[in-house]
Structure 1
Amino acid sequence: MTEVRHKQIRFWSGVAFLLAVITGLIVGGVKIQEYLQDAQRAPVQVVDFSGDFSHVNVTRLERLIRQSQPGSFFALDVNEVYKLVEAQPWVYRASVRKQWPNTLKIYLVEQQPVAQWNDDFLLNPYGETFNASADDLGLPKLFGPGGSEKTALEGYNAMQSLLATTAMPIAEMSLSERFAWQIQLENGIELNLGRQEFIDRLQRFIDVYPLLAKQPKAVKYVDLRYDTGLAVGWQEAEDEKS
């Protein structure tokens, strides 16, 4: 009986010990979780922005990050911060990572605006639209049907390259539903280039412009939608005064 009782005592002692261990692990886990969630014990003290940017308001962005992730360094969700940062209008790409013990490091690649699109959006060099304001940048204005952003930008770049040596940059360009090209130069001259061979037609204008510039009246528009030749509209005296 004594041996049986000793076995029972050892068994229940083992059970009690196991329960104590399990209880300790549970309590310890809860305490650790509470500690990790406690922003005062492990706060994100530094949000470090890097990269080449001038339009991104990092002060405002840091405030948004702290409002959306008010917990501790350990509880902060890097993926959520990444989504928030890349949703900002002027951010093209971003990377986000934690750095022990209290820093959130964010690298930003800023959007590079090259043109205004339909008076609603900006275009980056890849023909992608983004919703931001750049009225003070003096960007050219491009217009066209939805989905034609890349085509319009490629056409603009090709024509602008051709005009680079003429001191007549493009101020505004329109691409119609039928993909006919019209441009207005910064000197006010309007060019109707039509749908086909618009680069060759623009070169024709460049070749003949020195002769047009010698005329007593200033050029108002030039219609180049002809296989050969062109049609010229001249400014009247009232137009020149205005």
Structure 2
Amino acid sequence: MTSEAMTDKAKPNFRFIGGMAFLLILLAGIVYGAWAIKSWAEDEQKSPVREIALSGDLRFVSQNDVETLIRKTQPGSFFELNVEQAHQDIEQLPWVFRASIRKRWPNSLKIYVLEQTPAARWNDDLILNQYGDAFEGAVAKGMTPPQLPSLFGPGGSEHTALDGYNSMQALLVSAGMSIDELFLSERFAWHLKLVNGISLNLGRNEYIARLQRFIDLYPLLKKNEKAVDYVDLRYDTGLAVGWKSPEQPSQES
């Protein structure tokens, strides 16, 4: 090998070194840029959620309820806000039945809420929606909760109680009457108190047929000089009637 060839081999490859240096600088720039963008996105002062717009036919869910929840549970940054978690949190609010949420560039949230449809009060401390699901129905000051029938029953019987109420209410409305309170015992016996003050004991079995028997005979009962206090329908045929004393107020229509 000649001395000239050995000298050429010993020379550093400046083009290769320059290329590697450029590549390292480029990679460093990319990493720094990504870090800077991430830091900017996480900085709520630079990318805050400025507007939370709430929509829907709302009576019991307020803008303040939703906005306070979002501000409390989510980072202030628009980019860092977890839409799925925010969606789950909003649906945990008592009067929220369903919700949808989406980000809108550059700094706002659009939230739509479908409220619970209340059907009845449950054991004096909860409310049942139209599907028989119980929820806490406390409302903010100044909001008027709906006038609802009161249902009472053992835990886990919410759907049974509401189904029974709906079936019996439909019958009674056709006769110009309505349920004020419904009681379902541990043994699933039915007891009603009507808006007109009459109590009905329907027992466990064939309660719809027994209620229909009461409706059929009620015009005859109204002809009595005394007002009806209670009716016991736990018989295969017939019924037992308790009459109000003259001192007892009558609410019959």
The two structures have a TM-score, normalised by structure 1, of 0.93
Q: d(CA) in 2 for partners of 1:136 and 1:216?
A: 38
Aligned partner of 1:57 in structure 2 is: 62
Per-residue displacement from partner, 1:123-179 (whole Å, max 9, x unpaired)?
Answer: 011111111137842210111111111111111001000011233210000111111
Task: Flag as ranges the 4+ runs of structure 1 deviating above 3 A.
Answer: none
Give the match for residue 219 of structure 1: 228
**What is the identity, as a one-letter code, of the residue corresponding to 1:91?**
V
**Of residues 5, 22, 26 in structure 1, which corresponds to 2:11?**
5
For residue 191 of structure 1, what is the amino acid of its counterpart? L
Matched, 1:189 2:181: no
Identity %: 54
Offset at residue 3 of structure 1 (A): 5.7
Task: After superposition, give the CA deviation of every residue in 1:53-82 in whole Å (9 maximum; x if it has no partner).
Answer: 211022221122022223321111101211
Q: Distance in 1 between matches of 2:246 and 2:45?
A: 75
Equivalence for 1:142: 151
Flag the structure with higher helix content. Answer: 1
User: Which position in structure 2 is the counterpart of 1:161?
Assistant: 170
- Please give the alpha-carbon distance, in whole angstroms, between the structure 2 residues aligned to 1:47 and 1:208: 59
After alignment, is 125-134 or 25-34 more displaced? 125-134
- Find the partner of 2:126 among 114, 117, 121: 121
1:75 — aligned with what?
80
Give the 3-state SS of the residue equivalent to 1:137 in structure 2. Answer: coil
Judging changes above 3 Å, is the alpha-carbon distance between structure 1 residues 4 and 119 closer, same or farther for their aligned structure 2 residues? same
**1:34 matched residue in structure 2:** 39
- The counterpart of 2:181, out of the listed 135, 158, 172, is 172
Q: Deviations over 1:25-47 (max 9, x none)?
A: 11111111111112232222221
Shift of 1:2: 4.6
Provide the secondary structure at the position in 2 that maps to 1:156.
helix
* Aligned residue among 244, 249, 253 for 1:240: 249
**Partner residue of 2:209 out of 191, 200, 207:** 200
SS of match in other structure, 1:240: coil
TM value normalised by structure 2: 0.90
Q: d(CA) in 1 for partners of 2:246 and 2:110?
A: 62
Residue 138 of structure 2 aligns to a residue whose secondary structure is coil
C-alpha separation between the residues in 1 aligned to 2:151 and 2:122?
5
For residues 169-195 of structure 1, the C-alpha deviation after alignment (integer angstroms, 9 at most, x for no partner) is: 100001111111100001110000011
Gaps of 5+ in 2: 1-6
Q: Within 2, Cα distance between the matches of 1:154 and 1:69?
A: 40
Paired residues in the alignment total 241
1:14 aligns with 2:19: yes
Q: Matched residues in 2 for 1:138 and 1:35: separation?
A: 51
Distance in 2 (CA, whole Å) between partners of 1:230 and 1:137 is 35
